[in-house]
Structure 1
Amino acid sequence: MVQYKWVALSNTTIGVLMSSINGTIILISLPAIFRGININPVEPSSFQYLLWILMGYNVITAAFLVTFGRLSDIFGRVRLYNLGFAIFTIGSILLYITPNTGDLGALELIIFRLVQGIGAAFLFANSAAIITDAFPVTERGKALGINQIAALAGSLVGLILGGILATINWRFIFLVSVPVGILGTIWSYFKLKETGGTAKGEGIDWIGNLIFAGGLIFLLLGVTYGLMPYGTSQMGWTNPYVIASLIAGAGLLVAFPFVEKRMKYPMFRLELFKIKAFLMGGISQLLFAFAFGGIMIVLIILLQGIWLPLHGYSYSSTPFWAGVYMIPMMAGFVLMGPISGALSDRYGARTLATIGLSIVGVAFIALSTLPYNFNYPEFATIIFIMGLGSGMFGAPNTTAIMNSVPRMHRGAASGMRTTLQNSAQTASLALFFTIIIGVLAATLPTALSDAVTNAGAPQLAPIMSKIPVTSALFSAFLGYNPVGAILSALPHQLTASLSPSTVATLTSKQWFPETIAPPFMHALKISFYIGSAMAFLGAIFSALRGGRTIAEEEITRVNSPIQRGVKDERDRI
């Protein structure tokens, strides 16, 4: 009979595979999705749909991960994990049947993605805890490394599959998750069992739940809408509603720990931060996610909007080829994940995780040296090394965090760890977009004006210089040249004054990418420098985690302080 630990690993691996495929398949297929629902990227209001489809999923998962993790400790991790599988599958079905187009269709996509996010929160909050419960301490790194392979392999499959399905029918992108979700739901219901014990008799901290979820949602909403134009400004950081949302979110989150100290059954186990391995591992995870969370989207924008068109690829084919050209990063993940996980079982996480984050920091610096028309082998080598570093960090750090906490609190610990990760990923996207939009706002109008003048149409310079930065960025991401739409909207008398050769130049595949490339690369370099700084800072905290901390196995709940049963084992490296 197959040992239960392999059943638990197989099922949680399917869940991770499904959610990771969903993440990158959306990322690579957004051009087909927006064309499918007839969203015009030149319209300034369209940028909000891009942000919400990209970030709404993370907002909702980050807001509820800790809550669901705590509920899992009370009612059972497997029970709520099963529920997550079912909810995620329902969300995928709703996305496939999205009935409308235009603004209403975009709103439906956002809402259905939020449904998926709720299901994903249940899965993310419990998968690492279920694996940790099922495997002995000597095998957890290997198990979590295998689980990481699924996450990263799913990301790779999503990139390729998204590029293929995008050329057939955008609805198929969402259908992929349905059979996997149905299989996982049935399998988890019949095969998974509770092995970690539950905190029965404890109440639910409704006040803490509301304060934490409300604070995080307000904060992430403020960050999201801060990226949208407001009045004459290219971004909305001066919008009173954005400011109020940020202040309200920050205020609630600052008040949260003080409220939790007064709760009999707190949702957020603040005492876990007394465990050095948990604290330093969590900070390292936060900084890594902050550095790495936005890198995939900006590199795909670079490939789809600039590099691929300049190398002769049609706009309709750029999603597929962008996925193909990102394979080296995924390959680095998949290669190093299980190796580092297995090594961490024997030697501990500190050295592996620290070296991994340092490699990521160096790779960011290397990316900042590339021109926009780079040589692909050089680009592929850098992102492969970045993937290796990320894989070297991921499994050991997760193993160290989960090993350090008592069995009864693993649901809460897993939820807290993943909350830090998802919140930082969302903040990373916001930071990268803020930098890019800010730099483009200062440089793109002049670049467009000069380029259109040099193309032989100086009469269009005042019009082209007023293209909203978000529209240009959105167009680049969707592989769409906005010049054709702008020309078609101009008075006939003005367009008639343009020579056929000038029109051909402006509407070619090369003109718009070459025009936006220099200011875009300048913005990317700043983003890469910040990402590198975050990775190196994370490496410092990783090095400070100290010796390996392993919690004693606890089957039944005890009322002693959380530090009981925690022992330190010095790293043998």
Structure 2
Amino acid sequence: MTETLERGGFRGALSGGSDHPHYKWVALSNTTLGMLIATINSSIVLISLPAIFNGIHLDPLSPGNVSYLLWMLMGYMLVSAVLVVTLGRLGDMYGRVRIYNAGFALFTVTSIALSLDPFDGGGGALWLIGWRVLQAVGGAMLMANSAAILTDAFPAAQRGMALGVNIVAGIAGSFIGLVLGGLLAEWNWRAIFWVNVPIGIIGTVWAYRSLHDTGLRRPGRIDWWGNLTFAAGLTALLAGITYGIQPYGGHTQGWTNPWVLAGLFGGAAVLGLFAWIETRVKDPMFPLGLFRIRAFASGNIAGLLASIARGGLQFMLIIWLQGIWLPLHGYRYEETPLWAGIYLLPLTVGFLAAGPVAGHLSDKYGPRLFAAGGLLVMALSFGGLLILPTDFSYWAFAALVFLNGLGGGLFAAPNTSLVMSSVPAHLRGAASGMRATFQNAGMVLSIGVFFSLMVAGLSTSLPSTLDGGLTAQGVPAQAAHTIAGLPPVGTLFAAFLGYNPIASLLGPHLLGQLPAANAATLTGREFFPHLVSGPFHDGLVIVFWLAIGMSVVGALASLVKGGRAAHPEEEPAAG
């Protein structure tokens, strides 16, 4: 009899009121699924790009196609970063669950459209970029409101655990996407979008049937000028950083490009105008007053630095594995995306092992020490990777990336709990969106920052290494010198995508003039990885030192003490 009542009670939680004792667990399950599917899609394309470009018959290394490559990579993260605050604020005004549910439905519909791309070449790339932008709107709806829904549903004593599970699922999704993308791309590139459809349908129906708003709403007007200036300023700034890594006017990078400079300075100016507008309007989309709460401000600074460091690590490890280590160990270039995802599993395991535990312990002992300790563990792992040889022993590499995942897991949930528990209840949607903005912007910034640093490192040693390696295999000195003088960003993208660019750099005519043995050596598995491993390590040293610095500064920011916002409505009814 008791068993029957319990089963009936749980069914009631699935379709009944938010005051049911099981409701908070239903909210946790559904929002965790939403976060997982949204963040998997930020990285599943990352590792599947070679298969996607082959599927739509487009050479990603052709100079005219680099923009397609960048927007395929960046479009989703850029739109997510721009919209999460707006959508979190709309959740505060019209209901967090309502915006969240619409996000699940939109995400599912766009996944269907992506899998049905009917075009080839540039048209096929534009179809995917356009629908990925719309998919990012749905993903931003999910990310902006999931933490706020959980903060409303759970009492303070269990909030760190709940947010820990949710945030760990979200960040782990970016790691899981690497493995899943590699597996699905081996079968069919469209499968990386098909996989979302059944999960999206189940999640959408479940969300509409089971979730209810439990937090306080604050009616208000939409801050149109704030929304427009924020979107325009952040888009221009992040797009300028993204295009800054492309060569321009004989330079290895594009930081002197007038359009890049216009994006950087113009975007910063428009964001300054946005900040001025937000201090003048009655219902701002970005409540700047929240930054007066020290815990909120320092927690977001730490989150931004951790996101940049984590994003940089992800990109560098993919280049390291796909472009150098795996080919040196006998893997065909076509297989490297799959095996790169598999060999990065210790990173995901470390994160999943630490995340929920850190959330639970931070409820008991406070979040600051766990957040700071997690970033220091990450800094330690970056130091270990710094001294690891380019052709490393895998078990040493696995131990270090596991340690990095462990540190990230220790940091994520306590940091989120610290930020979300510091704000008044009626602004949790906006606070959740602001937190997600810093996290997503950090991922976009990491590409611009770390790719630029890596290109700077390669520029000092790659030309001479490439020139000497090509002439040693019989390539005429003039041709070798010309190839060595090309911007190193093309070589970097080749390594990132798991391509051997030597054949395309030399061309069939020049290859045909070389002895067969030399041509086979130049286009084989080992020549390119051996050639770039030394210059790549030079760039890696710069990248990891910066990551160490960011992790240490983030740890110090996590230790800043600050009062919580005291409001009578701070603790809404929770299950």
TM-score normalised over the length of structure 2: 0.93
Shift of 1:549: 7.1
1:93-104, aligned counterparts within 5 Å?
A: 93-104=112-123
Shift of 1:150: 2.4
Shift of 1:507: 0.9
Counterpart of 1:374?
392
Kindly indicate whether the alpha-carbon contact (under 8 Å) linking 2:466 and 2:484 is maintained by their aligned counterparts in 1.
Answer: yes
Shift of 1:547: 6.7
Shift of 1:348: 0.9
Shift of 1:319: 1.0
Decide which of 240, 263, 272 is 1:222's aligned counterpart. 240
**Given the alignment of the two structures, is residue 356 of structure 1 paired with residue 395 of structure 2, yes or no?**
no
Counterpart of 1:528?
544
Shift of 1:385: 0.6
Decide which of 500, 515, 522 is 1:506's aligned counterpart. 522
Counterpart of 1:270?
288
**Given the alignment of the two structures, is residue 540 of structure 1 paired with residue 556 of structure 2, yes or no?**
yes
Kindly provide the CA deviation profile for residues 244-270 of structure 1, in whole angstroms up to 9, marking residues without a partner as x: 111111001122222211111111111
**Given the alignment of the two structures, is residue 427 of structure 1 paired with residue 441 of structure 2, yes or no?**
no
Shift of 1:496: 4.4
Counterpart of 1:65?
84
Long gaps (5+) in structure 1: 557-573
**Given the alignment of the two structures, is residue 32 of structure 1 paired with residue 48 of structure 2, yes or no?**
no
Q: Give, in whole Å, the separation in 2 of the partners of 1:501 and 1:148.
A: 53
Shift of 1:160: 2.4
Shift of 1:183: 1.1
Kindly provide the CA deviation profile for residues 348-387 of structure 1, in whole angstroms up to 9, marking residues without a partner as x: 1111111111111111111111111011111111111111
Decide which of 263, 272, 275 is 1:245's aligned counterpart. 263
Decide which of 142, 157, 172 is 1:138's aligned counterpart. 157
Tell me the secondary structure at the aligned position of residue 313 of structure 1: coil
- Corresponding letter in the other structure for 1:228: Q
Counterpart of 1:129?
148
Q: Give, in whole Å, the separation in 2 of the partners of 1:467 and 1:169.
A: 34
Moved more, 305-314 or 16-25: 16-25
- Corresponding letter in the other structure for 1:177: N
Shift of 1:320: 1.1
**Given the alignment of the two structures, is residue 75 of structure 1 paired with residue 91 of structure 2, yes or no?**
no
Shift of 1:484: 2.1
Counterpart of 1:91?
110
Kindly indicate whether the alpha-carbon contact (under 8 Å) linking 2:42 and 2:76 is maintained by their aligned counterparts in 1.
Answer: no
- Corresponding letter in the other structure for 2:88: G
Q: Give, in whole Å, the separation in 1 of the partners of 2:266 and 2:178.
A: 37
Moved more, 153-162 or 84-93: 153-162
Counterpart of 2:136?
117
Task: Flag the 1:276–1:138 CA change in 2: closer, same or farther, 3 A.
Answer: same
Kindly indicate whether the alpha-carbon contact (under 8 Å) linking 1:29 and 1:170 is maintained by their aligned counterparts in 2.
Answer: yes
Question: Which consecutive segments of 4 or more residues in structure 1 shift more than 4 A?
Answer: 546-553
Decide which of 216, 223, 232 is 1:205's aligned counterpart. 223
Kindly indicate whether the alpha-carbon contact (under 8 Å) linking 2:164 and 2:360 is maintained by their aligned counterparts in 1.
Answer: yes
- Corresponding letter in the other structure for 2:55: G
Counterpart of 2:179?
160
Q: Give, in whole Å, the separation in 2 of the partners of 1:25 and 1:331.
A: 18
Tell me the secondary structure at the aligned position of residue 189 of structure 2: coil
Task: Flag the 1:551–1:294 CA change in 2: closer, same or farther, 3 A.
Answer: farther
- Corresponding letter in the other structure for 2:371: A
Shift of 1:541: 0.7
Q: Give, in whole Å, the separation in 1 of the partners of 2:171 and 2:278.
A: 36
RMSD: 1.8
Counterpart of 1:317?
335
Kindly indicate whether the alpha-carbon contact (under 8 Å) linking 2:424 and 2:565 is maintained by their aligned counterparts in 1.
Answer: no
Counterpart of 1:302?
320
Q: Give, in whole Å, the separation in 1 of the partners of 2:252 and 2:53.
A: 22
Kindly indicate whether the alpha-carbon contact (under 8 Å) linking 1:400 and 1:549 is maintained by their aligned counterparts in 2.
Answer: no
Tell me the secondary structure at the aligned position of residue 293 of structure 1: helix
Counterpart of 2:308?
290
Counterpart of 1:49?
68
Counterpart of 2:14?
none
Kindly indicate whether the alpha-carbon contact (under 8 Å) linking 1:449 and 1:461 is maintained by their aligned counterparts in 2.
Answer: yes
Tell me the secondary structure at the aligned position of residue 339 of structure 1: helix
Shift of 1:551: 6.1
Kindly indicate whether the alpha-carbon contact (under 8 Å) linking 1:145 and 1:342 is maintained by their aligned counterparts in 2.
Answer: yes
Shift of 1:234: 2.2
Shift of 1:464: 2.6
TM-score normalised over the length of structure 1: 0.93
Q: Give, in whole Å, the separation in 2 of the partners of 1:408 and 1:436.
A: 43
Shift of 1:123: 0.7
Kindly provide the CA deviation profile for residues 117-151 of structure 1, in whole angstroms up to 9, marking residues without a partner as x: 11111111100000100000000111112223423
Kindly provide the CA deviation profile for residues 173-203 of structure 1, in whole angstroms up to 9, marking residues without a partner as x: 1111111111111111111101012112x11
Q: Give, in whole Å, the separation in 2 of the partners of 1:89 and 1:237.
A: 38
- Corresponding letter in the other structure for 1:292: R
Kindly provide the CA deviation profile for residues 307-353 of structure 1, in whole angstroms up to 9, marking residues without a partner as x: 00000011121111101110111111000001000001111111111
- Corresponding letter in the other structure for 1:295: L
Moved more, 547-556 or 507-516: 547-556
Percent pairwise identity: 50
Kindly indicate whether the alpha-carbon contact (under 8 Å) linking 2:226 and 2:278 is maintained by their aligned counterparts in 1.
Answer: yes
Counterpart of 1:562?
none
Shift of 1:37: 1.7
Task: Flag the 1:203–1:466 CA change in 2: closer, same or farther, 3 A.
Answer: same
**Given the alignment of the two structures, is residue 11 of structure 1 paired with residue 11 of structure 2, yes or no?**
no
**Given the alignment of the two structures, is residue 175 of structure 1 paired with residue 194 of structure 2, yes or no?**
yes
**Given the alignment of the two structures, is residue 338 of structure 1 paired with residue 356 of structure 2, yes or no?**
yes
